[in-house]
Amino acid sequence: MIALILAGGFAKRMWPLTKDTPKPLLKVSGKPMIEHIIKKLERLDIKKIYISTNSKFGPIFDKWLAELDSDREIKLIVEPPVSEGEKFGAIGGLKFFLDKEDIQDDFIMINGDNLFEDELSYIHEFYREKKAPVFGLSDVKSISEARKLGTAKLDTQNKVVDFVEKSPKPTTTLASTGIYIFPAITRDRVGEYLAQEHNPDAPGFFINWLRHKTDVFGFVLTGRWFDVGSVETYERAQKEYRA
């Protein structure tokens, strides 16, 4: 298995903090958010970690990576876009990566602005049990909070029976955490999805499409999770991690 950390966004909602700094490199508890993710990935049997970013932030990630101490091989993948209007989107960026590196392995994909307490070994073990696409969920316990996120409904076996991106009237508070594990065959599904001109951005659109093609499962995390999508959530994450 290999790992991909998505860091291709421009995070305009968090300017000026992210105008010249990639959001995953904003510090929480003394180190960039992305390093918290890498430390958790290092505790899995991962062959290689990839980080996908854009051409604007590529040099900044290069400099950071040159100083990073990690026991795993980490490779930076730089997409061509240099501005918000040119970005590939998460699924577009995923296809660029899969094709460019000719990935034939199962892979774990994580949004680079994620902070979570749970060890990845739990969701990885669940994936090995199900042998099917799996993604992490967190119960945000609030309908108003769920409106801002992608939400999933599960059956008694934790199979996804519905997924909606930012529903104005969510019927569940189980929100996607931006942690996904896919079998290698998903590479073909990504190509099929984009060839049909579906939304290339939020992964939730792909998940909802994919569940009609194959079984997809949700794994509910029990620890704290922060979706750092605004200055407010970033400040809250900093405060709680310090505590």
What CA–CA distance (Å, rounded) separates 120 from 63? 27
What CA–CA distance (Å, rounded) separates 61 from 163? 33
At 182, phi and psi to the nearest 5?
A: -125, 140
State pTM to two decimals: 0.94
pLDDT tens, 36-94? 999 999 999 998 999 999 999 999 999 999 999 998 999 999 998 788 878 888 999 99
Please give the structure tokens belonging to residue 173.
Answer: 């508070």
Burial 185-223 (b: 16+ CB within 10 A, else e): ebbebbeebbeeeebbbbbbbbbbbbbeeeebbbbbbee
**Averaged pLDDT for residues 95-100:** 95
What CA–CA distance (Å, rounded) separates 3 from 107? 5
What CA–CA distance (Å, rounded) separates 152 from 170? 9
pLDDT: is 227 or 96 the higher one?
A: 96
What CA–CA distance (Å, rounded) separates 168 from 64? 39
Percent of the chain surpassing pLDDT 70: 99
Q: Tokens 């992305």 appear where? A: 34
Choice among 107-121, 207-221, 226-240 with the minimum mean pLDDT: 226-240
Mention every residue, 6+ apart, whose C-beta is less than 8 A from residue 188.
none
Nearest Cα to 132, choosing from 213, 202, 198? Answer: 213
Q: According to the model, what pLDDT value does residue 126 have?
A: 98
User: Residue 150 is inside which H or E element, if any?
Assistant: strand 150-154
Domains of the chain plus CATH, in order, are: 2-242 (3.90.550.10)
Strands 150-154 and 160-165: antiparallel
Q: According to the model, what pLDDT value does residue 133 have?
A: 98
Q: Is the pLDDT of residue 11 over 90?
A: no
Residue 112 and residue 238 in contact, taking contact as beta carbons nearer than 8 Å: no
pLDDT tens, 128-184? 999 999 999 999 999 999 999 999 999 999 999 999 999 999 999 999 999 999 999
Residue 241 and residue 29 in contact, taking contact as beta carbons nearer than 8 Å: yes
Q: Is the pLDDT of residue 13 over 80?
A: yes
Q: Which residues pair with 98 in a beta bridge?
A: none
Nearest Cα to 54, choosing from 15, 88, 8? Answer: 8
Q: Which residues pair with 225 in a beta bridge?
A: 116
What CA–CA distance (Å, rounded) separates 207 from 200? 12
